[in-house]
Amino acid sequence: MSALFQNYAKYPLTFIKGEGCKLTDDKGETYFDFGSGISVVNLGHSNPAVTKAITDQSGTLIHTSNLYSIPVQERLADKLSRRGFHGSLFFCNSGLEANEAALKLARIYGNTKYEGKRLRVLTLENSFHGRSFMTLSATGQEKIKKGFEPVADFFTHIPLNDISALKNEIDKGDVVAFMLELVQGEGGLDMIEADYLKQCAELCKKEGVLLIFDEIQTAFCRTGKFFAYEHFGVEPDIMTLAKGIANGVPMGAVMAKPEIAEYLVPGTHGTTFGGNFLACAAAESVFDTMNADGFIEAVSEKGAYMKEALENIFENSDVTVLGLGMMLGIKVPGKQKEFISKAIGNKLLLVPAGNDVVRIYAPLNISEDDIDRGLELISKTAAEMGLGG
Ligand SMILES: Cc1ncc(COP(=O)(O)O)c(C=O)c1O
């Protein structure tokens, strides 16, 4: 009997080594990892640049606390800010912590600016924002809240791509922020419509409602742009980041327009580990790798190639290919679990989303040969299930 909590439904696999898009298990078998640790290890396993950054930093200094200045944290903040919308940065250790900080920021902003009259936060139906009490309350999926009621009561979930639903809620006069994912990663890869997002941004700006993008799963080139919002020509007031930020070293971040970030004055928020030397060194190496010439363009091209190949594989089936850039997936109604198990049998790792979707998140720096080999395994799995191939 394991001494661990039994809160995960694990696959019967134990990996002991990873390199690029491949993982080796304890029996010496090699698997193609087209999950990337759920879009975390976007630069592949044992990435040499990240390994060197961690190794060098750990031999120098790992942690001092946020009582003192941390040069690599300042440098990383400056790089992310300039790459993004010139916001200020706060570093933490995970996605839910980033959303927690963003929501605390929205609350203190609302309380200060609107004298406590704007408490409500809007999020989308079928969204996912984390599993702390605050972020599961923000999440628009009943199954995430089940058993943990009562949850925080100041969130309202509205339908995706429905501008009148947003307007109706904002018209009530008590909304401080609207938080949303641009592609709903955990929900099943539903995507925001560009026109809707433009209208949301205009409406929120006009009504003084903060626009928060949860880019925890979409940022760091996963969708073929450094931040997914770049596809839409719309900037948020606040953005949350995690997952791919440090290629597997636990880290999260919030970027907020400086005039909003300043509401979190000393003593209002903090973290022990967040933004320490080790995590920032890893994140800086990820940032530099992804901003090297041609990296993002290559992700875009690989994503388009993979999407077309997937469409060909599933051409004569009822499977739909979903996604943006290399944030790809297939909708296989009623066959999600079976597809993933059969893929494991073929030495290919994929990740579920929602009830019917299988995510295909290859590492972003994967070679063309390895893309083709992974696609062959998807095609083989599809053929075994009578779904094309
Ligand atoms: C969009 C989004 N927000 C928040 C989270 C929560 O992140 P974490 O698991 O690091 O707390 C996730 C994790 O899947 C996510 O995809």
Specify the pLDDT at position 345: 98
Give the position, in ligand 1's atom list, of the atom nearest the Cα of 99.
Answer: 4
Q: At what angle do helices 277-290 and 295-313 cross, to 10 degrees?
A: 70
353 pLDDT higher than 80: yes
pLDDT for 48: 98
Residue 108 in contact with residue 268, Cβ under 8 Å?
A: yes
250 lines ligand 1 (CB under 6 A): no
DSSP code of residue 246? G
Q: What is the mean pLDDT of residues 220-235?
A: 98
Residues of the chain with CATH 3.90.1150.10: 15-33+294-384
Question: Is the CB–ligand 1 distance for residue 181 below 6 Å?
Answer: yes
Q: What is the pTM of this model?
A: 0.98
pLDDT at 228: 98
Q: Does the domain formed by 49-290 have CATH 3.30.420.40?
A: no
**pLDDT on residue 75:** 98
Contact between 122 and 169 (Cβ < 8 Å): yes
| Residues 145 and 157 sit within 8 Å (Cβ to Cβ) | no
What integer pLDDT is reported at residue 1 of this predicted model?
84
**Mean pLDDT of the 129-155 span:** 98
Helix, strand and coil content of the chain, in percent to the nearest 5, comes to 40, 20, 45
At 316, the amino acid letter reads: N
Q: How far is the CA of 313 from the centre of ligand 1 (A)?
A: 30
User: In the predicted model, what is the mean pLDDT of the chain?
Assistant: 97
Give pLDDT, residue 388: 78
CB of residue 215 inside a 6 A radius of ligand 1: no
Q: Please tell me the residue having the least CA distance from ligand 1 atom 3.
A: 129
185 lines ligand 1 (CB under 6 A): yes
Atom of ligand 1 nearest to the CA of 186: 16
Residue ID of nearest Cα to ligand 1 atom 4: 129
Ligand 1 touching residue 360 (CB < 6 A): no
Positions of CATH 3.40.640.10 in the chain: 49-290
* pLDDT band at 335; cut points 50, 70, 90: very high
**Residue pLDDT, tens place only, 165-208:** 999 999 999 999 999 999 999 999 999 999 999 999 999 999 99
Q: Could you tell me where the beta strands, DSSP code E, fall in the chain?
A: 15-19, 22-25, 30-33, 88-92, 120-124, 155-158, 175-180, 183-184, 190-191, 210-214, 238-241, 252-256, 320-324, 327-331, 348-349, 351-353, 357-360
Q: Tens digits of per-residue pLDDT, 297-332?
A: 999 999 999 999 999 999 999 999 999 999 999 999
Angle at 323 between CA 335 and CA 360, to 5 degrees: 55
> Does 84 score more than 90 pLDDT?
yes
| Average pLDDT value for residue range 351-370 | 98
Report how far Cα 134 is from the mean position of its chain's Cα atoms.
18
> What is the predicted pLDDT for the residue at 389?
72
Copy the structure tokens of residue 283: 């994140």
Model confidence at 60, pLDDT cuts 50, 70, 90, reads very high
Ligand 1 centroid vs 39 CA: distance in angstroms? 10
Question: What are the DSSP calls for 197-232, one per residue?
Answer: HHHHHHHHHHHTPEEEEE-TTTTTTTTSSSSGGGGT
For residue 360, is pLDDT > 90? yes
For the record, the structure tokens of 310 come out as: 């997937």
pLDDT cut 70: percent of the chain above it = 100
| Mutate-to-test residue for ligand 1 from 243, 247, 271, highest number of ligand atoms within 8 A of CB | 243
Distance from residue 369's CA to the centre of ligand 1 (Å): 31
- CA 324 vs CA 64, 183, 184: distances in Å: 39, 8, 11
In angstroms, what is the span from residue 384 Cα to ligand 1's centroid?
Answer: 33
* Protein residue with least CA distance to atom 9, ligand 1: 95
Q: pLDDT tens for residues 254-280?
A: 999 999 999 999 999 999 999 999 999
Q: What is the CATH number of domain 15-33+294-384?
A: 3.90.1150.10
